[in-house]
Structures are given as C-alpha cells and as structure tokens.
Structure 1
Amino acid sequence: MNHRQRIASSLIAAALAGAALISSAPTALAAEGPSVRSLTVGSEGTSLTITFDVPVSAAKAAGLRAELGSQANSEGTASTRGIDKGPIYPVVNCSEGNRSFTDRNGTFDVRYNCGYNVVNWGYKVSGALVSIAASTMQETGVRWYKGSTFLGQNAPHNVPVSYSLHGTQGGMNSGDLLHWSDTMTFKVNAGGVPGSAHLTVGGSFVVLR
C-alpha cells in the first residue's frame, strides 16, 4: 500500500468511527425511553414547572416529580384550604396570630392585624426545591386584591431560594375576601441535570376581627 492509499484508508476509518459515535447517541437515549424537556408539579393554587436545559428520560423526570411531590405537607400546618379558590374560603381571625398553609411547593404564613387593618405575611419555598436550587431566585412581589379591587404589589426580591419572604399589606377590613399571588424563578440542578424553575403561588382567605 503506497502513501496515498494509507492516507485514504485512515480517512475512511476515521469517518466510520465518527458515524458510529453519532449513531450510538440515539440508541442510548432510546434505551432509556421517551425523552422530555419539562415537568410540572402542582396542587390547587400553585404550580411548579421545571424546564431542563437538555432532554431527560421520561423515567428520570417521573422520579424527580415523585421526589418533589412527596414533600407535601412537610412544613408548617398542613391545610389545602389555604390555596383553595373557593367558594368556601379559609378564615383568618385577628385573635389567632399566625396562620400557616402548606402544600408541596412551600408554606404561606399570614396574620390579620386588625388593630391596623393590615395583614403580615410570609412565604418559604419547600425544602425539596431549596435542595435543587442552583441560583438566587427572582421574585416578582406579591400582588393583592380585595375581591376584584387591586390593593397593591409588594416589592420584588432577588434573594437565596431558602430566604423567608415576608411583608405587610394594608387596605382591608374585617370580613374582606383577599386574594394573593406571586411568581418566583431560579436555576436548578435536578438529578444532575441543569434547568430553570418557574413557581407560581397564590390563594384566597377571609379576614375577621
């Protein structure tokens, strides 16, 4: 075999090796089953969507969803009524101090300070979400409505995901029906796969003196 033949043979071998590597990737992915780019974990009033930077197997996404879902009612006082859209709303009395409502994505605390006609509130993301966070979170600020009337929006935050958000909202009186909502976004490393989390929370309750 002359010099030119040896070069040609080497190029052909390299091309075949490259083709083998390219063709093996779909085979490996197929072995793990269908792939997905996002998953959603939600309950009444809240929704968490994680979008992966690269596709993951459906089995891996299902495992992560089950892991996040297993954290339901793990903090505070469990009550699905805290995120109920109605028509029967939970009542927060002035005399009871802090009231906690927890679902799988986090815990909302609220106190009706009737002496000043304000509510003091707090929100903390669940431990399961904190454990996969890979950045600070951007929070839009809680939006408040009294019935259908917009009361205002609390200040936004750029803070660690483990941070306990808190604030005060005025403009309400005993017997008012209040609605609140908030959105948080942050980077995650879920099961070794990077991605982005979009968490929407909210609920409704009545304040009574």
Structure 2
Amino acid sequence: MWPSIIGWSLSALIATIGWWIAITNLNKQHRRNLELDKQKFIREMQIKTADEAINLLAKSRDSLGELNLYLILLPGDLRTKYSVNLETHSSRWEKPNEQVLKLWEKSSKSILEFTYFFESREVVLNKFVGMKETYLEQLSEIREATGKYSEYLGRIYYARYLNGIVLSEEELIDLENKTKEFNKYIFDFLGYVHDFIIELQNAFLSEAFGYSIPIRQPTDPKYKVLKAKE
C-alpha cells in the first residue's frame, strides 16, 4: 500500500512541478512578448514622430529661406536702381516693410506649427526639450528685431523712396548694415533648424541605416550649435 501511495505522490509532485514550470515559461514568454510589443510600439512612435517633426522643420526652413533671400537682395536692388535708371522699379521695393512682415508671418507660422507638434509629442522628444527652449528664445528675439527693422524700412519707403528722394551713400550703407544685422537673426535661426533636423535623424534613424550625419561646426565659436541632451 505504501509503495502505491508514495508512487502516486511522486507522480502528483512531478506533474505539479511540470505544470508550474510550464506556467512559469508561459509567463516568461508572455512578458517577453509584451516587452517586444512595447519596444516595437516605441520604435514606431519614435520614427513617426521624427518624420513629422523633420517635415515641419523643413517647412520652416523653406519659409525662412525666402525671407533670407529677400533680405540679401533688397539693398542691392536700390543700388541698381540708382546706378542704372531711377525709373527702374523692383517688386521687392513695393512696400518692403509689409513684405518683410508677411514673410516673417509665414515663417513664424511654420515655426509655431513645429513647436505645437513638439509639445504634443514631448514624451517622445524629451531629450530635445533644451533645444526647443533655445529655439523659442531665439524666436522671441527675432519677433522684436522684425518689428524694429520693419519700422525702419517703412520710414525709408514712405519718406524717401515714394517721394523719389535718392538715399545718400551713407544712408545706403546704413540700410545695408541694418539689413545684414536683421538677416543675421534669420540666418542663425536657419542654423538652429538645421541642427534640429540633424539631431532628430541621428537620434531616431541613424541606427537603422548605419549612418550618422555630422553636426554643424561653425568656424566662429560665437555661433551656437543646438545639441540634444546626452
């Protein structure tokens, strides 16, 4: 009798241990599957977020590029008018103060679209928060500079240009300097947009493609480069 009981007990124990091992393995596999699903979700969300953010930044870059080019050509148009033919008319000198404001408004809108998107995905883009804060600080400075430059252009346009009064060489140089000074804000911000695009690609796409894009390295240390948090 005892051998039978012992045999039955051993069989039951072995069965119980086998059942426990099977359940444990199933639980481990389930946890592994959950972790894999989690990692897949995170990866897909990162790539999707990076792609959308890069597209919005590229839109900002294009708008800022329009303003940058306008400012580069504006003073030269006036010099050409004076040196070639006073009757020559440039479309850039048709209410240039308003054109600057419109170009900046277009740029600002695209910049804010990126900012709003960033804030809606900050949990994904958390390592870039410091970059975004610097980005917004610069945006605030440009707004102020845009207002001052537009007022300056308005005075030249309405008081001098429309009345056919030719600017002196000193006034032309002042126009060129003030335009370059304002355009420096735009050019610097274009650099920040570039930095953001590079950092996003390197953070979320470089591993998949086995390639990292070199960061911007200005020759002059006074120019700041935005970098993601390590």
Normalised to the residue count of structure 2, the TM-score between the two structures is 0.32
For the pair shown, which has the larger CA radius of gyration, 1 or 2?
2
RCO higher in 1 or 2 (8 Å CA, sep ≥ 6)? Answer: 2
Structure ranking higher in helix proportion: 2
